[in-house]
């Protein structure tokens, strides 16, 4: 009953209603583009490409593109080149003073950074598009290509590049005139579009195979527990009580006053797993350009996302990137200075260098369990596959897909909640508080 009342409240707010309708229209346009095949390719002969992207890391690429990758669509490369470019630009902000200066210039600096991100996205697309076309020529029969030659290759590279840039523009329209988080929302739609098909396939497999409904019920319970754990991981701890922080650093002389410091167990959000996945996809890109037989073994090992070595390297990268991203986003020195300027302090800890050391020690120790939890969530699909869960459905047991899915849903609910509360309507929850992500992909 409360849900229907909330929907009524949403409909009453004209601005929110128009934003939601606008967002749905953009999403429909994006989904329609999935079925527009590259000119010169026979869409009836894509079985080989669909088989290649039915599972594994190629299936993950297809999921992020909303199925456009397996359709040889004009949107086949999806939004991932833009995300890769955004990651590179963020890293440049750490190394080069010029980019550091842009990050501190406010809105003008942000526009300049976005401009550089677009330029780098085009450069990445110019490299990835020929690799994608080369993969098509290796997978599809010769009869699938109505056109061929240099004209087909050049025009296809231009179309694939324009397709990704158009998807970027759609995401920006959602951010500006829709409900926000446009790029993240487009990724989420691509991921969630695969859920019904994967669920139906898994149900059919369990009913017709071993285990029956009992094993399916166990899977659903485990999936619910994983989703709940992912929600807690994405939201992170709201604030760390000072007395708990003291215990972490071994100081048990604290008072009974309940105070907080602005630290989280998962300050890096989903960025470490996105960094790691971007690196783990490099073998696929190398395989597209290289034809040397000596690389086949390496590429085969690191293209199997359910294999032991792929999972191990991914987990190590995620743990390393969690510490790295936390270090560049959480500045104990700046935090201590802000506390001092605002008249705040940590009881029992001297302002200045002692406070910096205290915050740095706490952050280092609470990041460790957060990084291990994030790595565990990332490799859960591989564990699920080894326990008999089908590959497409296993993607929703963890990994980048589930983290992005949960994070974007929370962010979208938070946006709607803000509109409702500003106009004094009942929100989506009685508490009126829905927490979004920290350091999520939507920030890029």
Instruction: Report if residue 11 sits inside a domain.
Output: no
Strands 240-241 and 260-261: antiparallel
Identify the domain containing residue 31 by its residue range. Answer: 16-193
For residue 80, is it within any domain?
Answer: yes
171 touches 183 (CB < 8 A): yes
Residue that finishes a domain, picked among 193, 211, 229: 193
Q: Mark whether 204 and 312 lie in a shared domain.
A: yes
Residue 241 host element (H or E): strand 240-241
Distance CA 398, CA 403 (A): 7
Residue 302 and residue 285 share a domain: yes
SS3 state at 426: coil
Helix (H) or strand (E) holding 337: helix 332-341
Q: Looking at 193, 227, 245, which one is the last position of a domain?
A: 193
Q: Which two tokens stand for residue 267?
A: 């300050």
User: How high is the pLDDT of residue 381?
Assistant: 83
Q: What is the dihedral of CA 304, 305, 306, 308, to 10 degrees?
A: 80
Could you read off the pLDDT of 174-233 as tens digits, one per residue? 988 888 888 888 888 888 887 788 788 777 777 776 666 777 787 778 778 877 777 776
Q: Are residues 304 and 218 in the same domain?
A: yes
6 domain residue, yes or no: no
Q: Which of 161, 176, 193 is the last residue of a domain?
A: 193
Instruction: Judge whether 136 lies within some domain.
Output: yes
169 within domain boundaries: yes
Residue 64 has pLDDT above 50, yes or no: yes
Do residues 221 and 145 share a domain? no
The string of DSSP codes covering 161-209 is HHHHHHHHHHHHHHHHHSSS-HHHHHHHHHHHTTHHHHHHHHHHHHHHS
Is a pLDDT exceeding 50 seen at residue 267?
yes
Higher pLDDT among residues 434 and 321, named by residue: 321
Q: Are 168 and 185 in contact (CB under 8 A)?
A: no
Quickly state the pLDDT bin for 430 (edges 50, 70, 90): low
CA distance 350 to 352: 6
> Does the structure show a pLDDT above 50 at 127?
yes
Model pLDDT, residue 1: 57
The confidence score (pLDDT) of residue 179 equals 84
Q: What's the pLDDT score for residue 238?
A: 45
Average pLDDT score over residue span 305-322: 84
Is 353 in the same domain as 438? yes
Residue 87 sits in the same domain as residue 215: no
pTM of the model: 0.75
pLDDT at 48 > cutoff 50: yes
**CATH number of the domain within which 429 lies:** 1.10.3370.10
- pLDDT confidence of 300, banded at 50, 70, 90? low
322 and 218 together in one domain: yes
Number of domain units in the chain: 2
Above 90 in pLDDT, residue 166?
yes
* Same domain flag for 227 and 322: yes
Task: Provide the residue count of the chain.
Answer: 444
| Structure confidence at residue 114 (pLDDT) | 87
C-alpha 165: how far from chain center: 19
Judge whether 7 lies within some domain: no
CB 273, CB 387: distance < 8 Å: no
pLDDT tens digits, 323-343: 887 877 777 887 778 777 777
Centroid of chain to Cα 367: 20
2 is a domain residue: no
Mean local confidence (pLDDT), 410-415: 79
Rg (CA), the chain: 24
The whole-angstrom separation of Cα 246 and Cα 261 is 11
Quote the mean pLDDT of the chain.
Answer: 77
CA 209 to chain centre: 33
Mean pLDDT along residues 147-173: 90
Is there a single domain that holds both residue 70 and residue 202?
A: no
Helix or strand or coil: residue 349?
A: coil
Confidence grade of residue 285 (pLDDT, cut at 50, 70, 90): low
Q: Is residue 244 pLDDT above 60, yes or no?
A: no
Q: Does the pLDDT at position 391 exceed 70?
A: yes
DSSP H helices, 242-307, are 242-248, 271-280, 282-289, 296-303
Same domain for 223 and 118, yes or no, is no
pLDDT of the residue at 236: 55
Domain membership of residue 353 (yes or no) is yes
pLDDT, residue 291, reads 45
Cα 318 to Cα 77, 370, 405, 425, distances in angstroms: 24, 11, 18, 41
Residue in the structure block whose two tokens are 């992005």: 404
Q: In which band, very low, low, confident or very high, does the pLDDT at 272 lie, cut at 50, 70 and 90?
A: confident
- SS3 of residue 260 by DSSP: strand
What is the structure's pLDDT at 14?
81
Indicate if 321 and 233 belong to the same structural domain: yes
Greatest CA separation found in the chain? 78
| Percent of the chain predicted with pLDDT > 90 | 8
Does residue 96 sit in the same domain as residue 153?
yes
């Amino acid at each position: 009953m409360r849900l229907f009342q909330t929907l009524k409240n949403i409909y009453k707010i004209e601005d929110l209603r128009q934003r939601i309708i606008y967002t749905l229209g953009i999403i429909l346009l994006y989904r329609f583009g999935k079925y527009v095949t590259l000119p010169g390719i026979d869409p009836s002969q894509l079985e080989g490409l669909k088989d290649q992207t039915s599972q594994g890391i190629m299936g993950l690429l297809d999921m992020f593109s909303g199925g456009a990758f397996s359709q040889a669509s004009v949107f086949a490369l999806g939004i991932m080149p833009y995300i890769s470019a955004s990651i590179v630009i963020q890293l440049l902000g750490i190394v080069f003073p010029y980019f550091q200066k842009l990050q501190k210039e406010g809105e003008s600096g942000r526009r300049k950074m976005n401009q550089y991100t677009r330029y780098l996205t085009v450069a990445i697309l110019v490299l990835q598009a020929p690799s994608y076309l080369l993969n098509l020529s290796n997978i599809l029969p010769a009869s699938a290509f109505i056109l061929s030659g240099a004209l087909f290759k050049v025009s296809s590279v231009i179309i694939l590049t324009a397709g990704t840039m158009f998807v970027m523009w759609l995401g920006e329209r959602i951010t500006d005139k829709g409900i926000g988080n446009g790029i993240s929302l487009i990724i989420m739609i691509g991921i969630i579009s695969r859920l019904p098909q994967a669920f139906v396939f898994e149900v059919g497999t369990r009913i017709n195979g071993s285990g029956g409904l009992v094993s399916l019920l166990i899977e659903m319970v485990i999936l619910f527990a994983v989703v709940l754990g992912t929600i807690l991981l994405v939201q992170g701890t709201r604030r760390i009580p000072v007395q708990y922080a003291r215990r972490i650093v071994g100081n048990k002389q604290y008072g009974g006053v309940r105070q907080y410091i602005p630290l989280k167990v998962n300050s890096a959000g989903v960025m470490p797993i996105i960094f790691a996945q971007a690196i783990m996809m490099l073998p696929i890109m190398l395989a597209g350009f290289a034809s040397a037989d000596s690389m086949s073994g390496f590429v085969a090992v690191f293209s199997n996302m359910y294999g032991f070595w792929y999972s191990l390297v991914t987990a190590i990268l995620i743990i390393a990137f969690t510490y790295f991203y936390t270090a560049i986003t959480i500045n104990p020195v700046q935090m201590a200075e802000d506390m001092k300027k605002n008249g705040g302090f940590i009881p029992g800890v001297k302002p200045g260098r002692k406070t910096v050391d205290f915050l740095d020690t706490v952050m280092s120790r609470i990041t460790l369990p957060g990084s291990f939890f994030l790595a565990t969530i990332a490799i859960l699909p591989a564990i699920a596959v080894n326990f008999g869960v089908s590959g497409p459905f296993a993607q929703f047991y963890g990994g980048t897909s589930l983290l992005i899915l949960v994070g974007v849903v929370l962010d979208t609910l938070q946006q709607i909640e803000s509109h409702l509360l500003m106009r004094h309507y009942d929100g989506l929850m009685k508490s009126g508080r829905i927490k979004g992500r920290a350091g999520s992909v939507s920030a890029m």
